[in-house]
Amino acid sequence: MKQPTLKTMGQQSGRRSWAEPWKIKMVEPLRMISRAERETALIEAGHNMFLLKSEDVYIDLLTDSGTSAMSDRQWAGMMLGDEAYAGSRNFYNLEAAVRAYYGYKYVVPTHQGRGAEHLLSQAAIKRGQHVPGNMYFTTTRLHQELAGGIFVDVIIDEAHDSQSLYPFKGNVDFDKLEALVEREGAENIAYVSLAGTVNMAGGQPVSMANARALREWSDRHGIKVYLDATRMVENAFFIQEREEGYADKPIAAILKEFCGYTDGAWMSAKKDNLVNIGGWLAVNDEALFDELRNQVVVFEGLHTYGGLAGRDMEAIAIGIAESVQDDHVRSRIGQVRYLGELLTGWGIPIVLPVGGHGVFLDARRFYPHLRQDQFPAQTLAAELYLDSGVRSMERGIASAGRDPKTGDHYYPQLELTRLTIPRRVYTQAHMDVVAESVLTVYQARERTRGLKMVYEPKYLRFFQARFERL
């Protein structure tokens, strides 16, 4: 097996490997079913990875959401759950952690990220207003649209090019933003929807300089900036690694500075914050907080639990503090990069540079003979599962959905299959097995046929759509 060189991980000379800053205390057995059984399971699931049973999966790289391993400290915290309906002590611990590490004033817990997206979209978007963002995310855009907003992509062009090596492909393009304000007027912009390590672009970061400039721009136009902080810790790592002046700053300090350029944030705590369930919303504006606190009791639960058990809030509070430790982030991204470098070493097309939370296979270049409406990324996910029981996720035309106005598919430029790495769960040997399976599927690429969609749900279709082989 070829060892990747992790020059970017601070190696000086010779071979000095990094390793995880933890050891394993408890294990969960894995099982691999036979190829014939996988064939049956795949057909029963309509070639949709979301419809597979988890026990039919060997290595599960569907998502990094809620799939991380909690630490012994977090599990100990679970025993300290204060399950009072109102005023649980764990809420105050969560509030203190968000204030300390993200720096926002007011905190509302929610059951997960989309609960927070729902509340913020309803409170901050007036019907017909535009919501510029650095690339769409499925649930984020849907909540903005359900609140009457019109999403406008203002990410830099490099983000849509899987081969561009630009170090901050998540950046906002100010020409696009300025053109939108000129066309629609600042009063018709609800807010700028800014995301750290942009998921649909392959986990690509936003630079500190871009966030700072966005703050200045927004102040000039009287427009708010809200941050999707879901993978903002990972974004902070890339700033530390790539941006002038940040090499010696701890991740925690970078995170706090970045958040300081925004007016508030929503969070899927299931990612960076290292828990299996949870989310939160945090803002600095008291009037908006009042509105959110009022809304949360309608949709989630009282404002001191927001759909979570006290023990869950405790696990988030502890997870936040663990998540910003430099050695944790370094090994987390180091593992993702290890997989990426194995694949690029074998000439397999992936999104470059390797992002924060996963390796994104470039299905367009993998299957150039398939049209986009033959679902190349979905096809690739199905082939990988068949080959080895590895589960990945489509992030292409199926995920993009349809334009609510015209009813046509959105045809995203990026047609990707995401190998998403849960935090603190799999070993380097698992990464080797995954890489070898991708290679096998790659070698059979010319013989591979695409898929057709035979069932399509109305909202977020990728979760439940069914496909058949062409």
Residues noted as catalytic: 85, 137-138, 228, 271, 395, 462
Does residue 113 bind ligand F0G (CB under 6 A)? yes
Position among 47, 114, 169, 337 found at the interface with ligand F0G (CB under 6 A) = 114
- Kindly provide the b/e burial profile for residues 167-195, where b requires at least 16 CB atoms within 10 angstroms of the residue's own CB: bbbbbbbeebbeebbeebeeeebbbbbbb
CA distance 262 to 228: 10
- In angstroms, give the least distance from the CB of 230 to ligand F0G: 4
C-alpha distances (whole Å) from 150 to each of 113, 323, 391 are 20, 33, 33
Position among 104, 137, 238, 360 found at the interface with ligand F0G (CB under 6 A) = 137
Position among 74, 171, 207, 268 found at the interface with ligand F0G (CB under 6 A) = 268
Nearest CA to 378 out of 364, 395, 366 is that of 395
- In angstroms, give the least distance from the CB of 117 to ligand F0G: 6
Residue 134 or 240: the one with the smaller Cβ distance to ligand F0G is 134
- Specify whether the CB–CB gap between 232 and 195 falls below 8 A: no
- In angstroms, give the least distance from the CB of 265 to ligand F0G: 11
Q: What angle do CA 244, 17, 169 make, to 5 degrees?
A: 35
Residue 279 or 353: the one with the smaller Cβ distance to ligand F0G is 279
Element (H, E) at 287: helix 286-299
- In angstroms, give the least distance from the CB of 210 to ligand F0G: 17
Residue 181 or 419: the one with the smaller Cβ distance to ligand F0G is 419
Position among 47, 130, 224, 270 found at the interface with ligand F0G (CB under 6 A) = 270
Position among 74, 129, 140, 193 found at the interface with ligand F0G (CB under 6 A) = 140
Q: Given the rule CB under 6 A, which of 81-89, 101-109, 136-144, 206-214 is the region that contacts ligand F0G?
A: 136-144
- Specify whether the CB–CB gap between 438 and 361 falls below 8 A: yes
CA distance 349 to 67: 26
Q: Given the rule CB under 6 A, which of 108-116, 119-127, 145-153, 306-314 is the region that contacts ligand F0G?
A: 108-116
- Helices H / strands E in the chain, number of each: 16, 14
Token reading at 130: 């535009």
Mark 164-203 with x for binding to ligand F0G (rule: CB under 6 A) and - for no binding.
Answer: -------------------------------x---x----
User: Got the DSSP string for 210-221?
Assistant: HHHHHHHHHHHH
Handedness of CA 301, 306, 308, 310 (dihedral sign): negative
Does residue 306 bind ligand F0G (CB under 6 A)? no
Position among 47, 49, 58, 65 found at the interface with ligand F0G (CB under 6 A) = 65
| Other CB atoms within 10 A of residue 290 CB | 12
Q: Is 260 helix (H, G, I), strand (E, B) or coil?
A: coil
Q: Given the rule CB under 6 A, which of 46-54, 137-145, 214-222, 311-319 is the region that contacts ligand F0G?
A: 137-145
- Residues at the interface with ligand F0G (CB under 6 A): 63, 65, 112-114, 137, 139-140, 195, 199, 228, 230, 268, 270, 279
